[in-house]
Amino acid sequence: MEKHHAVRLFLQTFFGSSTDPRFDFIARISRFTTLAKKEILFQEGDSGNEFYFLASGTIKLYRSTPDGKEATIRFIAAGEYFAEILLQLKGRYPVSAVAMEPAQLLAIDAAKILEHIQENPDVAMYFIGALAGRIKYLLGMVEQLTLADIRQRFINYLHALGDNSPTAQIELPAPKGEIALLLGTTPETFSRLLKKLVGEGIIAVDGRTITLTGTQPPPGA
């Protein structure tokens, strides 16, 4: 993939059109970069001046707990942008980011985007929408981890992933062990849950592909 293609993907995702007139502006204030599998993009507390659009691959965002363990925050799929919160945090990343597989990204100058927002107030609505989506996601994760058991947390998570899938097949964005950490459980417990749901005829599992085969209770049920 070349940079100009990544810019058009960003324009389509962010502004709703790959032919948006801001192409030259975004191309000028961004750089195209690649990551190898398991390569760190940035670490929690690092200073920086860029947010990112993921053109291909999967990125994991995580934080370190006081006892030194790793807490997964979310997985970023191709077509999503992340670290835009940098615009409000005075140039420090609140989480760490690592490539789960080879990835291609557009790194965009946050200060230049902020200037563009100030000069074009209509653009601010796109960022407000993005931040609202992040807040909703994080609040949902907090609710899942505090109020629901692991079975319901996973079913809720499948429903969230299914919102972006036109079929009953859902591709997990990371290995099952990583999904277990995201859901606040152990890989062993998560493995037993998958076997139980398969046995009940609710899902079929083929690697990282989950097929919904039975009636699913609604999120939060």
The CATH number for 180's domain is 1.10.10.10
- Do 22 and 113 lie in one domain? The reply is yes
Structural domain of residue 73, as residue ranges? 3-127
Domain contains 24: yes
Confidence of residue 36 (pLDDT cuts 50, 70, 90): very high
Higher model confidence: residue 106 or residue 163? 106
Judged by average pLDDT, the poorest of 6-10, 90-94, 200-204 is 90-94
Q: Indicate the number of domains in the chain.
A: 2
55, 104 Cβ separation under 8 angstroms: yes
- Do 86 and 193 lie in one domain? The reply is no
Between CA 182 and CA 179 the distance in angstroms is 5
